[in-house]
Structure 1
């Protein structure tokens, strides 16, 4: 289980890393990240009675909808790809490889790092393209969902395939694979793709 008290970046910078905002911001914090070929990201989402969909799902038995758990996967996996892009560009620019959580955090919070990651964020467009996940347990108000994403592979057409798993404590809530489509914003119009920024 990840350390929920640590965060890769403070809330003000975290909002700049993703383009999601309430009520569809489904990641509260990045609590673990490992760059590199076998890299992964771990995020958390606190499920509360204040979620706008909880009163209707269901009035007498509130629980987190599966589609929202899939959205956690979609957002978490995009954070993984963004952070991997950042680490590669940081190394190319500075000559210093970022190998640990604390190193990445420190680089992101520098003026140069913040400027670089925001530039990368604005250069990417994409969408959650597909999902193949199974649901094993329920997530209820009061639970904290811990989502871990690993990149399985990326193809030449811009599709990124991720292995994903969500847990509440020791219980696996959902696991499987999702696919994100992501592409450089300058290339997308030439391919006839007009997607909103991820």
Structure 2
């Protein structure tokens, strides 16, 4: 098993609090797949305004957490940490399904599988689960952009 803690994750992702949404990588295989977790806490700032009496993690943040998992897999596959003038950005979201709400106290398991790579464009199948049950799935397209595009 190949694992990464948050210190190592921060070497690969430019995101910081409150927008770093991957807490730990549980396993990965370069060029194939990555499994990570996001621990959902009531202390996260979006719960103050997103249904405060019945807090639910916003769906767009679940998509973002899955996209961050793909970013980790992408950089690990390339065998490099991001360079100063490189961004790994989300450029497309397809086949999204939300099946269950994510609430404080949940631990979200994030799965990213590399489907296709063409140049700087990457396509991933992603899934988020809580307690082994799928809560969200999507096909994500990402691109590594450098220089003036970044």
Question: If you compute each CA radius of gyration, which structure gives the higher value, 1 or 2?
Answer: 1
Determine if contact 1:145/1:167 at 8 Å carries over to the other structure. Answer: yes
Q: Which residue of 2 aligns with 1:177?
A: 139
How many Å apart are 1:137 and its aligned residue?
Answer: 0.5
Flag structure 1 segments of 5+ consecutive residues without an equivalent. 1-5, 87-116
Specify the SS of the correspondent of 1:53. Answer: helix
- Is 1:53 the counterpart of 2:46? The answer is yes
After superposition, the C-alpha distances for 1:27-59 in whole angstroms (9 at most, x for unaligned) are: 0011110124xx100110001101100121111
Q: Distance in 1 between matches of 2:54 and 2:141?
A: 31
2:33 counterpart of 1:40: yes
Q: State the SS of the aligned residue for 2:61.
A: helix
Q: Is the 8 A contact 1:74 1:128 kept in 2?
A: yes
- Aligned 8 A contact 1:130 1:180 in 2: yes
Structure 1 residue matching 2:45: 3-state secondary structure: coil
The TM-score normalised by the length of structure 1 is 0.69
TM-fit CA distance, 1:7: 7.1
CA distance in 1, matches of 2:76, 2:115: 16
Alpha-carbon spacing, 1:19–1:135, altered in 2? closer, same or farther (3 Å) = same
1:143 to 106, 111, 124: 106
Tell me the TM-score normalized by structure 2.
0.90
Q: 1:162 aligns with which of 114, 124, 143?
A: 124
Query: 2: distance between equivalents of 1:165 and 1:57?
Result: 22
Q: Which has the higher helix share?
A: 1
Q: Which residue of 1 aligns with 2:83?
A: 122
Moved segments of 4+, more than 3 Å? none
Structure richer in strand, relative to its length: 2
Change over 3 Å in CA distance of 1:9–1:179 after alignment to 2: same
What is the aligned length?
148
* Structure 2: segments with no counterpart, 5+ residues: none
Which residue of 2 is the match for residue 78 of structure 1? 71
